[in-house]
Amino acid sequence: MTHSFSQFPANRPRRLRRTDWMRNLVRENILTPADFIWPIFVMEGNDASEPVPSMPGVSRMTIDRAVIAANEAANLGIPVVALFPYTPTELKSSSCDEAFNPDNLVNKATRAIKAAVPDIGIMLDVALDPYNSDGHDGIVKDGIILNDETLMVLERQALTHADAGADILGPSDMMDGRIGVIRRALEQNEFPDVAIMSYSAKFASAYYGPFRDAVGATGALIGGKHTYQMDAGNSDEAMRMISRDLNEGADMVMVKPGLSYLDICQRATTEFNVPTFAYQVSGEYAMIEAASANGWIDRDKVILESLLAFKRAGCAGILSYYAFEVAEKMISAD
């Protein structure tokens, strides 16, 4: 597409940058609390929280505190919270039975939040790494992550999450065929309204380390995840994975990580025209916090700039650990 404009001095683009109100008037993309999904880490216990050392400002919290946090998020206009469990070591196993325990941490938390804050959406991750003694997203045998055997466990996990009241399931395991298996299971078990936000383009990234600390998977992980998560150099493959997941029944798609993969976000929104989300992952969060702690950046401005980049790339929304803080500041400013 080509454009023809008048030349200087008739055309002075700085006219539209002259004042705050003018910049606000012509801004192409904006952030609101409704753009956010807020990840919350839950743990066992009562009325307690526990800082995640590699994620300054982020804490695991017990279910009662997660209920309070979800209520506060809803009051700020955040539409969805995503729950992730800090599973006790004794509940982890090679068969990942805790993943489909109806009374596991995230299922209990979902029921508690839904009872107290019925109007907020709840998203639950469908993957085995928080429950796996090997730290992987799938069942492991002789060092191999088994695809089809994992699908059977993911199906059971998804159904317990739906039964607990989850509104959105986020399959993040990257096993082949999992969206079709989960969608069929939901339809056959009277959960047709549960949405699937598929982590369709999830890359084998070095940015996930602090998250693995948060869910207690770091020490358990044996080897890498490159045999099932995507190679960082591939863009066309990401489009194929998104197309596959949409054909199998995904309602929305996820790109993870976010900031280093804005090109994938933009391609997805342009080529498929479906709600596309990005995850501003733990490593991105930790880098901002570390640079800020050293006085190298203006923390608040960098946070907003990084989040706005996702909107500019076409994302419908963002999973971000900054969601609550930013939404709170937006409401205060109004």
Whether residue 7 is contained in a domain is answered as no
How many whole angstroms separate alpha carbon 264 and alpha carbon 148? Answer: 27
Angle formed at CA 28 by CA 328 and CA 74, multiple of 5 degrees: 25
Q: Which of 113, 66, 53 is nearest to 286 (CA)?
A: 53
User: What is the token pair recorded at 127?
Assistant: 């993957």
Whether residue 9 is contained in a domain is answered as no
Is residue 220 predicted with pLDDT exceeding 80? no
Cis ω for the linkage preceding 9 (within 30 of 0): yes
Q: How far is CA 13 from CA 37, 76, 202, 308, in A?
A: 35, 36, 39, 21
Total Cβ atoms within 10 A of residue 276: 28
End-to-end Cα distance, the chain: 38
| Res 209: pLDDT | 83
Domain count, the chain: 1
Is residue 222 predicted with pLDDT exceeding 80? no
* Residue among 92, 108, 256, 311 flagged as catalytic: 256
User: What is the token pair recorded at 324?
Assistant: 């609550």
Long-range contacts of 43-49 (CB under 8 A, 24+ apart): 43/85, 43/86, 43/105, 44/86, 44/88, 44/105
Whether residue 256 is contained in a domain is answered as yes
Is residue 101 predicted with pLDDT exceeding 70? yes
Q: Is 202 a catalytic residue?
A: yes
Whether residue 294 is contained in a domain is answered as yes
pLDDT digits (tens, 9 = 90+) for 129-177: 999 999 899 999 999 999 999 999 999 999 999 999 999 999 999 999 9
| Res 224: pLDDT | 86
Whether residue 184 is contained in a domain is answered as yes
pLDDT digits (tens, 9 = 90+) for 28-75: 999 999 999 999 999 999 999 999 999 999 999 999 999 999 999 999
Is residue 122 predicted with pLDDT exceeding 80? yes
Whether residue 261 is contained in a domain is answered as yes
3-state class (DSSP) for residue 80: strand
The residue range of the domain holding 36 is: 30-333
Is residue 218 predicted with pLDDT exceeding 70? no
Whether residue 10 is contained in a domain is answered as no
Helix (H) or strand (E) holding 118: none
What CATH number should be reported for the domain holding residue 131? Answer: 3.20.20.70
Residues forming a β-bridge with 318: 36, 278
Find the farthest-apart pair of alpha carbons in the chain and give their distance in angstroms, rounded: 72
Residues forming a β-bridge with 221: none
* Residue among 202, 225, 311, 329 flagged as catalytic: 202
Identity at 109, one-letter amino acid code: A
Whether residue 171 is contained in a domain is answered as yes
**Least confident window among 194-198, 213-217, 330-334:** 213-217
